[in-house]
């Protein structure tokens, strides 16, 4: 079967496309495309799933997503409630270094930028220290046209290439297989079901029914296309939500967080949390609070 990818509609007179999104929630299905994508979240909260990993996002966050990296911005469940008065806003820049820009990236002056992008094909979250600077360039790029747009694009590349901090990849898995359009929708439906029901008991049979598969077929399919087993993905979702609840300080106890995230015992919660995060829930919370105090003192 021919691999059908999500196609970015790039105007014939542009090599770089800027897209503004303002809608109730993000495109809900796993997809990929040939273009590198820089997305700046201006409003909204949720989880970015990129390859085999997930990352929280909120207003002000910015991500670079490598070409052909399967991804989906999953808005939080409350964004799918009818008449919730919530919306997401984001600006994305799309460009293909192997397409119409290929000859430019072959110039010696852009060698460092090309190398940087090739080294970060798994993407990364843009450090907060340069988000405002790149955000201003993205706004200028959005308003520009012709050669002026390319000038802004080169300035964006220059700032990205100049980042000195170590950048953790968004995905740690090897090359995932091609995602067809129908597979992206099917996996998106699986993700939707798990992320909407993570606080409840979910069995392998439940999720297999959502995918219209037998449990055995589903296990093979899900592992092949996401790099996760069903249990590891469910645990990641639950621990990711637990981390959000812990740092929001809107909970009575760590035990309460565990049960609200679908864990039936605090012992199992502590074990899975340590496996996924590398720290205990209490240690994670203490570390977060200490970092907030340090940042507050530095700002003062």
Domain with CATH 1.10.10.60 in the chain: 181-292
How far is the C-alpha of 239 from the C-alpha of 276, rounded, in Å?
7
Residues 139-174 pLDDT 10s: 999 999 889 999 999 999 999 999 999 999 999 876
- Tell me, what's the pLDDT at 183? 83
Please determine, for residue 35, whether its predicted confidence score (pLDDT) is greater than 50: yes
Question: In the numeric block, which tokens belong to residue 188?
Answer: 């998106």
- Tell me, what's the pLDDT at 1? 23
Q: Do the Cβ atoms of 23 and 84 come closer than 8 Å?
A: no
Tell me the range of 88-97, 173-182, 188-197 where mean pLDDT is highest: 88-97
Question: In the numeric block, which tokens belong to residue 1?
Answer: 């079967």
Residue 54: strand, helix, or coil: strand
Partners of 18 in beta bridges: 93
CATH number of 181-292: 1.10.10.60
Residues 93-131 pLDDT 10s: 999 999 889 999 999 999 999 999 999 999 999 999 999
Please determine, for residue 9, whether its predicted confidence score (pLDDT) is greater than 80: no
Domain with CATH 2.60.120.280 in the chain: 16-161
Among residues of the chain, what percentage have pLDDT more than 70?
Answer: 91
Q: Of 6-15, 67-76, 153-162, which range is least confident?
A: 6-15
Q: Do the Cβ atoms of 194 and 237 come closer than 8 Å?
A: yes
- Tell me, what's the pLDDT at 80? 83
| CA–CA distances in Å: residue 232 to residues 219, 226, 229, 253 | 12, 11, 5, 25
Sheet arrangement for strand 124-125: 16-23, 88-95, 36-43, 62-65, 124-125
Give the largest CA-CA distance in the chain: 60
Q: Following CA atoms 30, 33, 35, 39 in sequence, which dihedral angle do they give, to the nearest 10 degrees?
A: -10
| CA–CA distances in Å: residue 129 to residues 132, 133, 155, 257, 275 | 7, 8, 16, 32, 30
**Average pLDDT value for residue range 267-276:** 95
Superfamily of domain 16-161 in the CATH hierarchy? Regulatory protein AraC (2.60.120.280)
- Tell me, what's the pLDDT at 4? 31
**pTM reported for the whole predicted model:** 0.80
How far is the C-alpha of 155 from the C-alpha of 138, rounded, in Å?
10
- Tell me, what's the pLDDT at 6? 46
- Tell me, what's the pLDDT at 12? 52
| CA–CA distances in Å: residue 166 to residues 37, 74, 116, 122 | 20, 26, 12, 14
How far is the C-alpha of 275 from the C-alpha of 265, rounded, in Å?
16
Q: Do the Cβ atoms of 196 and 185 come closer than 8 Å?
A: no
């Amino acid at each position: 079967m021919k691999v059908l990818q999500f196609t970015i509609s790039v105007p014939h007179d542009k090599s770089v496309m800027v897209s503004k999104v303002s809608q109730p929630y993000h495109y809900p299905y796993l997809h990929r495309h040939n273009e590198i994508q820089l997305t700046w979240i201006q409003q909204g909260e949720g989880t970015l799933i990129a390859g085999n990993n997930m990352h929280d996002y909120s207003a002000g966050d910015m991500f670079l997503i490598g070409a052909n990296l399967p991804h989906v911005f999953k808005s939080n469940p409350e964004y799918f409630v009818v008449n919730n008065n919530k919306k997401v806003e984001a600006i994305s820049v799309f460009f293909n270094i192997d397409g119409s820009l290929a000859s430019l990236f072959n110039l010696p002056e852009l060698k460092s930028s090309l190398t940087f992008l090739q080294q970060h094909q798994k993407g990364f979250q843009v450090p907060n220290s340069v988000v405002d600077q790149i955000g201003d360039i993205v706004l200028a790029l959005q308003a520009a046209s012709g050669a002026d747009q390319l000038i802004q694009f080169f300035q964006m590349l220059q700032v990205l290439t100049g980042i000195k901090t170590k950048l953790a990849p968004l995905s740690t898995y090897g090359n995932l297989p091609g995602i067809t359009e129908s597979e992206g929708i099917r996996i998106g439906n699986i993700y939707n079901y798990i992320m909407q029901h993570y606080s409840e008991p979910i069995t392998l049979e439940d999720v297999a029914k959502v995918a219209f598969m037998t449990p055995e077929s589903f296990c093979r399919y899900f592992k092949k296309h996401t790099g996760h087993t069903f249990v590891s993905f469910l645990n990641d979702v639950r621990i990711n939500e637990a981390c959000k609840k812990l740092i929001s300080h809107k909970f009575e106890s760590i035990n309460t967080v565990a049960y609200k995230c679908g864990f039936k015992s605090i012992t199992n919660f502590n074990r899975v949390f340590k496996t996924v995060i590398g720290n205990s829930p209490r240690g994670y919370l203490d570390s977060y609070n200490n970092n907030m105090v340090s940042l507050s003192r530095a700002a003062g």
